[in-house]
Amino acid sequence: MTAAVDELAVDGDRLLRRLDDLAAVGSTGDGGVSRLALTDDDRAGRDLVVEWMEDLDLEVSVDRIGNIVGSRSGLTDGPPVMTGSHVDTVATGGRYDGNLGVLAGLEVVETLVEAGVTTQRPLAVGVFTDEEGSRFSPDMLGSLVYVGGMTLAEGLDARSADGVRLGDELQRIGYAGVVPVPRTAPAAFVELHIEQGPVLETEGFTIGAVTGVQGISWQRVLLTGQANHAGTTPMHLRRDAGYVAAAIATGVRRIALERGGGTVATVGSLGLDPDLVNVVARRAELTIDLRHPDERELRLVEAAVAELVAEVAATEGVEVAIERLARFEPVVFDETIVDLVAGVAADRDLPVRRMVSGAGHDAQMLARVCPTGMIFVPSHDGISHNPVEHTDPDDLVAGADVLLHTLLILTDTRGPGRVADGR
């Protein structure tokens, strides 16, 4: 039995087929996918995943914030070892972000079912609500509520930019479940994900053993000036919200470049009102995304940005209101699991590199309640959150095999327990 378990491999074609089938839901016709959290397309994606879970005889439960968990019993009771990710996407998403982690989890289960293997500990596959945060902030909202980092009431009251309430959308699409949150901590959590950056491909590695996730700071800046005639208003008499927004956008980039050391800063959304050729903008709204692996450095960048915003707005006589959208400190993953992922990859002769994640992930929330790690596979040209997002099929399958064997070890199915129960 042990030798057979050691030699198990996922069915790559079946994994790729499921990825294709899920990518057809909310397809944007250019290779990309749009399934913003809790839209009809998100519901259709969830429905398909739940159907597959039921086909695999998983016990499906949905909690009050809409997280879906498919569970498979083990030979012993206790909290499950969990894998999973998300199936919501950004509006211009690719086909692998999130989806790979969920569908590789199902592929692991199907591989075990086919081989007649019951794991020692129970195994579960999670699908977390609103990971992307594009429609409802913060990102990773479902997993944050799952672990008790945000109350259910706060999560349900999250509003989209156009004022829609998350709880109402959850009801509308039929995913307001009954399982209470926070949910019981898993024994351990491992998430497979595409890297979404250029490191693995550039350096020739197939697997990333993720050591942690960098800190994330999101804010929305609302600027209020005065609308006026573009031809008659002298430059020194303007209160131009559009100008201030543009100065912030360029200033934020300058700050990131000046600080260096891995600081990244993005103004990804910028809107003007009334947004007309011959009117000085009365209002402007922009978002600022700042990230750094070191909390102290992230705070310094935030302070520099706050100073910039205050200074340029004051000079132009524009009022500023700032809304905090998300703030997560850097997360360090469990060393035992990082070593395990690296060891499993090395055993399979896959070139593996330890690395910090630049993107946010549900795993960073689960890390608050149980030993957690992640497995990365390369992203072609480092492109993600884009319809052309691509990972070589061999790499997708290699990642799923590393996930399979990592889970076999964490569930004690390949040898004695290496990881203590959840903390």
Residues of the shown chain interacting with ligand GLV in the complex, contacts defined by CB under 6 A: 131-132, 139, 359-360
- Between CA 6 and CA 131 the distance in angstroms is 33
98 contact, one of ligand GLV, Mn ion, none, CB 5-8 Å limit per kind: Mn ion
What is the SS3 assignment for 190? Answer: strand
The site for Mn ion (CB under 5 A) is made up of 97-98
Nearer to ligand GLV, 132 or 285 (CB): 132
CB of 158 to Mn ion, least distance (A): 17
410 binds, among Mn ion, ligand GLV, none (CB under 5 to 8 A by kind): none
The CB-of-72 to ligand GLV minimum distance in angstroms stands at 27
Helix 99-115 and helix 393-410: axis angle, to 10°? Answer: 60
- Min dist. Cβ of residue 65 to ligand GLV (A): 17
Pick left, alpha or beta for residue 385 (phi over 0 → left; psi -120 to 50 → alpha; otherwise beta): left
Q: What is the CA radius of gyration of the chain?
A: 23
CB nearer to Mn ion: pick between 33 and 402: 33
Write out the two tokens for 421. 């129960």
Binding partner of residue 139 among ligand GLV, Mn ion, none, CB cut-off 5 to 8 Å per kind: ligand GLV
Q: Which does 5 bind (CB under 5 to 8 A by kind): Mn ion, ligand GLV, none?
A: none
SS3 labels along 268-333: CCEEEECCCCCEECCEEEEEEEEEECCHHHHHHHHHHHHHHHHHHHHHHCCEEEEEEEEEECCEEC
Asked if 120 and 412 count as a contact pair (C-beta separation under 8 A), the reply is: yes
| Phi then psi dihedrals of residue 77, to 5 deg | -85, -170
Residue 227's Cβ-count burial label (10 Å; 0-12, 13-18, 19+) is middle
Least distance in Å: CB of 42 to ligand GLV? 15
Q: Which is nearer to Mn ion, 286 or 374 (CB)?
A: 374
**Pairing mode, if any, of strands 81-85 and 188-194?**
parallel
Please, which residue, 243 or 333, has the CB nearer to Mn ion? 333
Structure token pair of residue 85 = 């990710």
Residue 358 makes CB contacts below 8 A (sequence gap 6+) with: 196, 197, 214, 264, 291
Among ligand GLV, Mn ion, none, residue 360 binds (CB under 5-8 Å by kind): ligand GLV
| No. of helices (H) and no. of strands (E), the chain | 13, 16
Both structure tokens of 373: 């790690």
Q: Cβ 139 to ligand GLV, closest distance in Å?
A: 4
CB of 237 to Mn ion, least distance (A): 44
CB of 132 to Mn ion, least distance (A): 5
Closest distance of CB 196 from Mn ion, Å: 7
Instruction: Give the nearest distance from C-beta 322 to ligand GLV in angstroms.
Output: 19
Closest CB to ligand GLV among residues 268, 415: 268
Burial 284-321 (b: 16+ CB within 10 A, else e): bbbbbbbbbbeeebbeebbebbeebbeebbeebebebe
| Residue (150 or 397) nearer to ligand GLV, CB | 150
Considering the complex, state which of residue 132 and residue 201 has its C-beta at the smaller distance from ligand GLV. Answer: 132
Can you tell me which residue has the tokens 């896959």?
Answer: 350
Structure token pair of residue 334: 């469990």
Percentages (nearest 5) of helix, strand, coil residues in the chain: 35, 20, 40
In the complex with Mn ion, the residue whose CB is nearer, 97 or 201, is 97
Closer by beta carbon to Mn ion, 90 or else 419:
90
